[in-house]
Amino acid sequence: MTTRQAGRDLDTSKAHSARMYDYFLGGKDHFEIDKEAALVAAQAHPGIYVTARENRAFMHRATRVLAQEHGIRQWLDIGTGIPTEPNLHQVAQSVAVDARVVYADNDPLVLKYAERLMRSTTQGRTAYIEADATDPDALMSAVEASGVLDFDQPIALSLNALMHFITDPHDPYAIIRRLLDPLPAGSALAMNHCTPDFDPVTWNKVAEVYTKSGSPVQFRSHDDVRRFFDGLDLIEPGIVCCHRWRPAAPADGTEPADAQISLLAGVGIKR
């Protein structure tokens, strides 16, 4: 099931962060303008390809941990991006076949490929809604209208590489509170967020590239990222560079430096 906002057209006049991310992951669902902006960002930080892969890997690990160790069976994934397998519902349903997932994104191109997101198990359910995280009231109304998630049962809010695209004028902390408020105790927030802490010069250059390409960003410090989890119980290992959050052993026995990834990650449980 998919829903979209009326009057939304595909804008190919400027780069879009979701399509740039698709390029970094080696996908094919982007335009030349997205590739050009992505290459400029990669000039500023060649390791951004690794950052994109580690972002995706964290989502997989966090989803498995919440399903296996915390019994979560429902997810709201905001800032879904263009489908790249395995998608969140495929990871969740590999642990629990009855898992339910609602995906939300504000790029019409994601809607075009949303059918790839809909391949649920027969026991579970998935839906895609086109909505903007900067309007959390409308977003949550659309989620409730989909009828996929049971708000009497725990729901995991999955926000991967999203909140650094929501700058302070939009009050990102209020957005998180609005998204978490209707979720019952036992629900979770799983998110990661770019930071300049490890290499401020490089990541300030990356921020300039995104902002000039039409996708303003605000990379935040560890303390500022920690604020998103206020009132939640962080699970181990707390907020760390994402490749250090419950990592699998590297195949070659090596791991990237924190400065190369510069993506903080954490998972918190609602009391």
Let me know the angle formed at the C-alpha of 235 by 233 and 237, rounded to the nearest 5 degrees: 135
Q: What pTM did the predictor assign?
A: 0.87
Per-residue pLDDT of the chain (271 residues; tens, 9 = 90+): 655 443 345 667 777 667 776 777 777 777 888 888 778 877 887 778 788 888 889 999 999 999 999 999 999 999 987 777 788 999 999 999 999 999 999 877 777 777 766 778 889 999 999 999 999 999 999 999 999 999 999 999 999 999 999 999 999 999 999 999 999 999 999 999 999 999 999 989 889 988 888 889 999 999 999 999 999 999 999 999 999 999 986 655 678 899 989 999 999 999 9
Phi and psi at residue 159, to the nearest 5°: -130, 90
Q: Contact at 8 Å (CB) between 155 and 187?
A: yes
CA dist 149 → 98, 185, 271 (Å): 12, 15, 19
